[in-house]
Each structure stands twice: as C-alpha cells, then as structure tokens.
Amino acid sequence: MLARTLLLSVLASAIPRPAAACLWDSETWAAEGDSLPCVLDVLSGGYPQHTRQYFEARSAAADEALRWAPG
C-alpha cells in the first residue's frame, strides 16, 4: 500500500502541467510601454532590423579604417 502511494505521488508530480503566467503581466507591459517605449518594442518583437546592404557597408567601412591603421 505504501509503495503504491509513493508510486502514485511520484507519477503525479512527474506529469508536466502548463505554467500559468503572472497575474500582473499586462500591468508590467503597460508600465514598460509608458516609461520606455523601446523596451516594449523589443519585448513584442517590433524592433527595426538592418538590411544586408547596411552590414556590407559597415564591413567595407571597417576594412577601410583598418587600411589606415599602422601595423
């Protein structure tokens, strides 16, 4: 009987359950949006992304700057 009870309690604790979000999450997002709108953009995935040409231009500028560096 004790073994059965232990086995059932182990199995019950091993079953994954969905995690519940905090009750005040909407308040947190609203506070972040009011104080720092850029943080809200990053949290929601709305941040600007540079194009491939931007990174190619940065790489070319860095290569040019290194050509001027002595040694």
**pLDDT score of 31 more than 80:** no
Does the pTM surpass 0.85? The reply is: no
Two tokens at 52? Answer: 């491939």
pLDDT value of position 2: 81
Two tokens at 17? Answer: 């359950």
- Per cent of the chain over pLDDT 70 is 77
**pLDDT score of 38 more than 70:** yes
Q: What are the boundaries of each domain within the chain?
A: 25-71
**pLDDT score of 5 more than 80:** yes
pLDDT value of position 53: 95
* 3-state secondary structure string across 7-31: HHHHHHHHCCCCCCCCCCHHHHHHH
